Amino acid sequence: MKPDADKKKLVLALVLLGGFMIGETVAAVLANSLALLSDAAHMLTDTASIAFALIAMTLSTWSSFGSYTFGLKRSGTLAASINGLTLTGLGGYLGYEGIHRLIDPPEVGGATVLIVGCTGIVANLLATWTLAKANRDSLNVEGAFQHVLNDLYAFIGTTVSGLLVLTTGFMRADGLAALVVAALMLKSGAGLIGESTRVLLQAAPRGMDPERIRATLLSESRVTGIGDLHVWEVASGFPALSAHVVVGDHSDPDDVRRQLTGLLDEEFGIDHTTIEVARSSTAPTAENISARGCPPLRGDSPVRIPPEANRVHER
């Protein structure tokens, strides 16, 4: 999916949800419905998340400049983190208010809640369908999608509460619907915070096991040791790797590096690599590596790369 196509989908969803949010806020005040007001608050976070996604999508395309050697590629991750924090905060507040409504339920305009809820389902179905076609491998876009999807579920709950209030007079249904919305917001918010934190803390991307990568590198017959292996994600869909590699005395370091670079790209989709290669006879012991805080070498030769033997290659 091209970035420009994703932007168009995000803009369409932003206009659709932003317009509906204004109308829903007015209806919530007129109907005295916390369920509708919670939906409107959720839609506010929807529109904000989409706006953040659009801004982050633009910033992430900037090339490196000054001290920002990766450009602003993690702006999308920051946007997802902000979205998660917003969802969590609003979810907690609405849960608190929902409990109060269960204890002391006010009068609620059931007909208004029902009509607005049904309309909201249609609006969110359109927005969800639009964003589902965007590139959801991006944590940034996925954050916006999760906002809208949860709002769809919330509107279903609101519609049911409006129907119950209208047909049975059960006013606590409004508070119950608000609690359902709050629970969904907390769940999605926690998920976004967790995923964005993994990227910011430079954990290995999901589905990429560093030990399996180490074993794959060691499967190359000329490699006798692997040390200082790091696998992380610069941004969504941008994995990176660095490693110290030790080879036999008669091996060509440049040829081994090319072989390993191609292997990492083919097996794991990692095409941004920094690999230092040295022959075993010129490298110091593994104890020196441990002393400087690097992960221990694994393989036949417990060695570290000396400065004069370093060969660095980046793609």
Query: Do 195 and 228 fall within a single domain?
Result: no
The gap between the terminal CA atoms of the chain, to the nearest Å, is 23
Q: Are residues 97 and 159 in the same domain?
A: yes
Same domain for 258 and 194?
no
Which DSSP string do the residues of 100-149 spell out, in sequence order? HHHHS-----HHHHHHHHHHHHHHHHHHHHHHHTS-TTSHHHHHHHHHHH
In a domain, 315, yes or no: no
Q: Per-residue pLDDT for 300 more than 50?
A: no
Q: What average pLDDT does the structure give for the chain?
A: 81
Check which CATH number belongs to the domain holding 244 and give it: 3.30.70.1350
Q: What is the DSSP letter of 306?
A: -
Checking if the pLDDT of 294 tops 60, the result is no
Assigned domain for 119 exists: yes
What contacts 66, CB < 8 A, 6 or more positions away?
Answer: none
Average pLDDT of 235-251?
89
Residue 278 and residue 169 in one domain: no
| Residue 221 shares a structural domain with residue 99 | no
271: confidence class by pLDDT, cuts 50, 70, 90: confident
* Residue 38: closest CA among 104, 103, 90: 90
Domain with 66 in it: 3-200
pLDDT (tens digit, 9 = 90+) per residue, 58-92? 887 777 788 888 888 888 788 888 888 888 888 89
Q: How confident is the model at residue 287 (pLDDT cuts 50, 70, 90)?
A: very low
The verdict on residue 159 lying in a domain is: yes
DSSP 285: B
Residue 70 and residue 176 in one domain: yes
Same domain, 111 and 8: yes
Domain boundary among 148, 174, 200: 200
Query: What pLDDT was estimated at residue 212?
Result: 94
Do the domain assignments include residue 143?
A: yes
- Confirm whether 141 is domain-assigned: yes
Q: Are residues 225 and 246 in the same domain?
A: yes
Q: Is residue 205 part of a domain?
A: no
Residues 190 and 247 both lie in one domain: no
The number of folded domains in the chain is 2
pLDDT tier for residue 244 given thresholds of 50, 70 and 90: very high
Q: Which pLDDT does position 304 carry in this prediction? A: 44
CATH at 130: 1.20.1510.10
Domain end residue (candidates: 175, 200, 225)? 200
The whole-number pLDDT of residue 264 equals 94
Q: What is the mean pLDDT of residues 116-129?
A: 86
**162 and 247 share a domain?**
no
Residue 13 has pLDDT above 60, yes or no: yes
Judgement on whether residues 108 and 144 belong to the same structural domain of the protein: yes
Same-domain status, 57 and 184 = yes
Answering whether pTM is above 0.75, one says no
Please report the pLDDT score of residue 256 as a whole number.
93
302 located within any domain: yes
Give residue 11's identity as a one-letter amino acid code. Answer: V
> Pick from 145, 174, 200: which residue ends a domain?
200
Q: Which residue has the higher pLDDT, 105 or 209?
A: 209
292 is a domain residue: yes
Within 10 angstroms of residue 65's Cβ, the number of other Cβ atoms is 9
**C-alpha separations of 250 from 247, 261, 284, 307 in Å:** 8, 20, 18, 19
